């Protein structure tokens, strides 16, 4: 299993239109067949010192293996998402894990 976890920080988080546009872009990724499981979320209302809730959106995807992940990276829907939405975020952190 290959897990791809992405955190997004918007350039202008106070603008609802930016939230809506990024959410729509993230939703467009769910149509990629290489993905086994996908979750799109926002920070939970949990406040403990060890929790980072500074991000605006989280994308968690599970793939069967690294080859499926690599296919996703080159998929036209993923490339279109980056082209259409990259101007919305100021920072992205990605964590990949395997089991």
pLDDT in tens, 13-26: 999 999 999 999 99
Q: What is the pTM of this model?
A: 0.94
Token pair, residue 30, equals: 């769910």
Task: Look at residue 13 in the predicted model and tell me its pLDDT.
Answer: 95
Task: Look at residue 94 in the predicted model and tell me its pLDDT.
Answer: 98
Domain boundaries, the chain: 2-45+53-98
Task: Look at residue 56 in the predicted model and tell me its pLDDT.
Answer: 98
Task: Look at residue 3 in the predicted model and tell me its pLDDT.
Answer: 98
User: Which residues partner with 3 through β-bridges?
Assistant: 62, 97
Q: What is the mean pLDDT of residues 46-52?
A: 94
Task: Look at residue 69 in the predicted model and tell me its pLDDT.
Answer: 98
Average per-residue pLDDT for the chain: 97
CATH class of residue range 2-45+53-98: alpha beta
């Amino acid at each position: 299993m290959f897990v791809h976890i992405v955190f997004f920080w918007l350039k202008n988080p106070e603008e609802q239109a930016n939230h809506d546009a990024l959410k729509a872009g993230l939703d467009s990724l769910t149509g990629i067949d290489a993905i086994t499981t996908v979750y799109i979320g926002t920070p939970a209302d949990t406040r403990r010192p060890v929790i980072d809730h500074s991000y605006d959106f989280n994308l968690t995807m599970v793939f069967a293996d690294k080859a499926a992940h690599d296919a996703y990276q080159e998929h036209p829907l993923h490339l279109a998402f980056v082209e259409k939405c990259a101007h919305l975020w100021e920072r992205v952190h990605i964590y990949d894990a395997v089991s």
